[in-house]
Structure 1
């Protein structure tokens, strides 16, 4: 990183930290995510150039993955026998959310079919934007709509869980923090597997590297403990700041239509996802807060962090979001079709 990038990152971190402190003072749920996301978003729209370096972002994903995996115990696999129905509903939910949101964008906002489908994709932001760059579509509309969805879900899901008192009373009891030597080794090994998964083109590869190593070591009993709060809390602040930084350098005037369409679509998909989560919670005997986070079409890393912060089952949540990303990787090229590709 050169000096301007370091300065930009420092300002972003400062604004994100201030947002987290304000959210804590107000009493927001998940304040370390919501506060920075809102503060950095408004600062970016006000004209500040903000951003989180790629290296820092990747480190955040690895650490969140380790935190997710640290909750996995043999008892969880006993409970997993109720998940098959829930897994099937992931495929159903994706199809319903994708085509419902695309229909809204085409009918109400006059988006062309390709732009509407890409903007309506329920997640997999990096992959969707890569597809959009190769298609005949409005790349800015796709990017903004997807970013608005991630931001809105980051803010709304914890508020919904808190306001409607959806949190499961049988909260997951996290083990004590792992020792520093073990944490360092876990970070190194997890980063190595993350880079390997990245080479194999896995979605959310670095996060999955952390999840894989953490689950493997915790389920066998070779490692115990979770990521200490002194490290995890700053990671949440950085993740919230990263979400907000996607609006840096843009203005309200430039984004008015895309922001409105993004918000409308987010309301539609959130209502549909909430209804599906209620059905899954009832028939699969899954806590409603975990089902809501699992079926919310937000970013995998953000939803994973949210599951840990809200004491929902992070293994259940993570498994569903990984399945969603894998299905989207196959589904999106098929529904868009060859005629949308650039010649």
Structure 2
């Protein structure tokens, strides 16, 4: 089949899958674009209609669509490391870092429990429970050989449970002060030429970071390398000029990233990935509930030691996504700047530290005959 025909089928698959994302986004769910797109893409991947099936050895969309989505997400996360985060961590940085490390440790333990008490392999268990978010973890998991279907399902389940439980518990246990205004600004800054120029600079920086990440053999270098390089350039440049440098970065760019990643991951689903999933889901559900309970306990300790409201602490340390927790912080009148800062720091830490650690543990387990269940 000609390259042009293959490319047109890729685009057709992305557009059709994106319709599912659009429909789910109408519910108001910020991650709806990715979940809806992933569900529709997985459906067509299972059905494999002739007019969408790609010939030859290509089992899904061309990998560069996923890389583009990861690069966009890396720029989005990297930009959030700015001067405001530095100010936030001046006083309470130690307790915040300790609790973040505890949340990562709890998630690793949850992954270990999932591996021991289900038929899921070690690598998939760890990536499924890692608190890196639905946008980042499945893409990284795919590159290291984990079961992306199981990872996506577990990550989606955790997001839903967090969104349903933590805001409800936080808002009912302790009321937020009336009239308190979120410190995070919403909306897109007015268009200026300097904003466009800075966006172009960050795009080149992200590509350079991805190239370095590939040379250093980072997992998902387009996400991890791009994110780290943008974070460094954004924070250093803002410190030099004395204020945050703003780029023109409309929400539609993130929507495109969610569609590209959702359709790419979903296009590689096949029925064998879901074999024996019932026990895995039960164990993952119990592990997720335990993780949520542990983080609520940690949030309570932080609120007592630092004076940060329990609502803010609960949303900041919740094992959910940045967008979901930021939205909830606005609704519940919490300090959304702190919520976003802590969530982004954890995701960056998870994306940089955990994938190579999981891969190392997996290689060790494989040599010892522990990598998978009989």
Distance in 1 (CA, whole Å) between partners of 2:343 and 2:148 is: 25
SS of the aligned residue for 1:275 comes to helix
Shift in CA distance, 330/29, structure 1 to aligned 2, threshold 3 Å = closer
Determine if contact 1:12/1:40 at 8 Å carries over to the other structure.
yes
Determine if contact 1:38/1:244 at 8 Å carries over to the other structure.
yes
Residue 45 of structure 2 aligns with which residue?
A: 44
Residue 157 of structure 2 aligns with which residue?
A: 152
TM-score w.r.t. the length of structure 2 is: 0.68
Shift in CA distance, 223/91, structure 1 to aligned 2, threshold 3 Å = closer
Determine if contact 1:72/1:315 at 8 Å carries over to the other structure.
yes
Determine if contact 2:83/2:235 at 8 Å carries over to the other structure.
no
Residue 32 of structure 1 aligns with which residue?
A: 33
Distance in 2 (CA, whole Å) between partners of 1:225 and 1:173 is: 14
Determine if contact 1:64/1:304 at 8 Å carries over to the other structure.
no
Determine if contact 1:33/1:154 at 8 Å carries over to the other structure.
no
From 334, 357, 366, the equivalent of 1:330 is 357
Determine if contact 1:61/1:207 at 8 Å carries over to the other structure.
no
Shift in CA distance, 340/169, structure 1 to aligned 2, threshold 3 Å = farther
Task: State whether structure 2 residue 182 is matched by structure 1 residue 170.
Answer: yes
Distance in 2 (CA, whole Å) between partners of 1:39 and 1:229 is: 22
Distance in 1 (CA, whole Å) between partners of 2:121 and 2:95 is: 29
* Total equivalences in the alignment: 317
TM-score w.r.t. the length of structure 1 is: 0.73
Task: State whether structure 2 residue 240 is matched by structure 1 residue 217.
Answer: no
Q: CA deviation at 1:173?
A: 0.8
Shift in CA distance, 79/333, structure 1 to aligned 2, threshold 3 Å = same
Q: CA deviation at 1:225?
A: 3.6
Residue 188 of structure 1 aligns with which residue?
A: 204
Q: CA deviation at 1:195?
A: 1.6
Residue 237 of structure 1 aligns with which residue?
A: 259
Residue 316 of structure 1 aligns with which residue?
A: 342
Q: CA deviation at 1:187?
A: 0.7
Q: CA deviation at 1:222?
A: 7.0
Shift in CA distance, 256/200, structure 1 to aligned 2, threshold 3 Å = closer
Task: State whether structure 2 residue 212 is matched by structure 1 residue 200.
Answer: no
Determine if contact 2:30/2:324 at 8 Å carries over to the other structure.
no
Determine if contact 2:125/2:151 at 8 Å carries over to the other structure.
yes
Shift in CA distance, 257/232, structure 1 to aligned 2, threshold 3 Å = closer
Determine if contact 1:62/1:206 at 8 Å carries over to the other structure.
yes
Determine if contact 2:75/2:226 at 8 Å carries over to the other structure.
no
Distance in 1 (CA, whole Å) between partners of 2:111 and 2:266 is: 23
Determine if contact 2:83/2:244 at 8 Å carries over to the other structure.
no
Distance in 2 (CA, whole Å) between partners of 1:153 and 1:47 is: 29
Determine if contact 1:98/1:120 at 8 Å carries over to the other structure.
no
Task: State whether structure 2 residue 65 is matched by structure 1 residue 60.
Answer: no
RMSD, matched Cα: 3.8
Residue 300 of structure 1 aligns with which residue?
A: none
SS of the aligned residue for 2:69 comes to helix
Determine if contact 1:19/1:39 at 8 Å carries over to the other structure.
yes
Query: What CA deviation, in whole Å up to 9, does each residue of 1:144-170 have, x standing for no partner?
Result: 432432343455555556777879962
Shift in CA distance, 291/93, structure 1 to aligned 2, threshold 3 Å = closer
Shift in CA distance, 233/103, structure 1 to aligned 2, threshold 3 Å = closer
Query: What CA deviation, in whole Å up to 9, does each residue of 1:212-266 have, x standing for no partner?
Result: 333333444373245123423322332333343342xx13xx3443432442343
Distance in 2 (CA, whole Å) between partners of 1:11 and 1:90 is: 41
Q: CA deviation at 1:62?
A: 2.6
User: Which residues of structure 2 form unaligned runs of 5+?
Assistant: 55-59, 131-136, 303-307, 331-335
